[in-house]
A and B are shown apart, each in its own frame.
Chain A
Amino acid sequence: MEQSTVPQPAIDRVGPWLIILAVLAGILALTWDFLVSVLTVLFDPVFLSGFALTMLQAAVASTVGGGIGVGIAELALKSKRCTQSTIRFLRLGMWLPFFVAWAAPIWWIRWGEVLQAPLWAERILRVVIAISPNVIFAGCYYHLSARYILQLNQRSALSVIASSILLQAVLFSFLAQVFLYRDGWQWFPYPGHAWMARPVATILLVGGFLLLLQRITGNDFEKTAEMTSIATVRQLRDSNWITFLAAGILWFLCFAFWDRFYVFLRDFFAIAPFGW
């Protein structure tokens, strides 16, 4: 076949690009004010430090709580019965500390003034203390799921457990900011001009962080979905009356612990909703 030697007019190639550029310019002109507001928020040192503190709180809680949780899980793995019962209990039991913390959030630490801890350390500790029990339970559950139910080796399990724990910690640390008022990261919309700028900036920052986490651990949606489903199905198959009773005992022990230490916790952490 003979190829055409007639050169195409340049306008044919440039034309669509000009239209796209014109549309983009139109969108940019219409949203210019909003984009400037988002950029202003993104370069606001207070907003950025709030984000950094939130992620730091999640990272510290994941390291400390996750470490303890994995340690407990390793002990539970020594007995098959114990492992099955703990998994059955933790499936919903890992949310127990969240419900307790939600009912009694920590706004300031009573001993913070006595120790004269710097403000940033107190801000981190407040959230870390509140979410750590949850992260411990979650760490224990994810470790048992990965090692016992999914039979993953130590190396493969590590990335799965780490990303699951960190995601959970980010969620709780993020929610806890609402209770910290002016000391927390104010990611929520603000009344006034361009009040959507803060949430959009939050999506960009947290989305970037989660994308980075995904790239480092290599756990994407598909992989996590497959593992969660396999774990759910195997859990259902393995559950019996013995694990049910044992999980019931663990629930009872947790409630007893809650009842016994409630007064101590209440006195240890002062709750002052309108004190600031």
Chain B
Amino acid sequence: MIRASYRLLTTGSMIANMESTLWHDVAVSAQEITEGLLVSGVLAFIAVRVLRAAAGLRLRVSWLFVFGNTLPIVVAIMLMPWLGVNHWLRAVIVGAVSFLPFAQSLWGLRDQAVVSRILLALDNALPYAFVGMLFGELWAATAGLGFFLVVARALGNRTEALATSLITLGLMLSVSFTLRFVIRRLCRSEIEKLAAVTEMH
């Protein structure tokens, strides 16, 4: 499987008509994840702003929990007639799946500086964004890691399918590792202060 992963990234796939390397698919998926996280980030920011403003009116925020990560997927799929079958639909699916963890982190860290809030929220939402990307590309795509995975599996090439999932996981790990590295560099003192405050409580 590791050999297959290496081959997919250097010489290309063994599947007929899909012989090119996987880098183009990596770029397509990365673009969808970035756009999706942007969508969920903007929505989460608006939601948190509204909720903070509404706190004075004693409005409860618990209803947001009902959405979970499951229902936004259905809502995103329902937008298909308006968005069309393109990368924006997949970005909206990614955004829908990662919205709740993003909003939770922004709400939970609402008293922190904006940079650390966004970075920590991104890190928490990242795995969900990858789940959304895989689901979105299963639904409607012509390129991307999720699309290649579906094609490889459907054509019975399980080794390349599993190798692609390994590459996807590797991508997720590297992005998360980089994010955490940046968070530690930029917000070390803030994190230590916050951890100490939460421990006192």
Contacts and interface: CB of A to CB of B under 8 A. Distances in A.
A234 interface: yes
A16 to B, nearest CB: 23
Given A210-B65, A262-B1, A220 B138 contact: no
Given A103-B161, A228-B105, A262-B162, A203 B74 contact: yes
Given A221-B61, A233-B191, A271 B153 contact: yes
B62 A104 contact: no
A170 B66 contact: no
A134 to B, nearest CB: 11
Given A171-B69, A178-B138, A95 B172 contact: yes
Best-buried of A236, A262, A266 by chain B (most CB within 10 Å) = A236
B107 to A, nearest CB: 4
A69 interface: no
Contacts of B107: 221-222, 225, 229
B169 A99 contact: yes
A114 to B, nearest CB: 23
A49 interface: no
A199 B77 CA distance: 8
B70 to A, nearest CB: 5
A233 B130 contact: no
Contacts of B180: 236
Interface in A211-234: 211, 214, 219-222, 224-230, 232-234
Interface string B138-175: 10000000000100011010100110111011001100
Given A210-B66, A210-B71, A271-B158, A234 B149 contact: no
Contacts of B36: none
A233 B195 contact: yes
Contact of A104 (B138, B153, B166, B198): B153
A25 interface: no
B131 interface: yes
Contacts of A99: 165-166, 168-169
Given A103-B149, A104-B162, A221 B173 contact: no
Interface string A134-147: 00000000000000
Interface string B1-42: 100000000000000000000000000000000000000000
B43 interface: no
Contacts of B154: 273-274
| Residue of A189, A221, A262 with most partner-chain B CB within 10 A | A221
Nearest to B131: A98
A167 B68 CA distance: 7
Nearest to B176: A92
Contacts of A274: 154
19 contacts: A100-B165, A102-B149, A167-B68, A174-B70, A199-B77, A203-B71, A203-B75, A220-B61, A221-B61, A221-B103, A222-B61, A222-B107, A228-B105, A229-B108, A232-B120, A233-B198, A234-B195, A234-B198, A271-B156
Interface of A: 92, 95-96, 98-100, 102-105, 167, 170-171, 174-175, 178, 187-189, 196, 199-200, 202-203, 206-207, 210-211, 214, 219-222, 224-230, 232-234, 236-237, 258-259, 262, 266, 271, 273-274
Given A174-B73, A175-B131, A203-B74, 18 more contacts: A95-B127, A99-B166, A103-B153, A104-B153, A167-B69, A167-B70, A170-B70, A175-B135, A207-B67, A211-B66, A224-B65, A225-B105, A229-B120, A233-B109, A236-B183, A237-B192, A262-B1, A273-B153
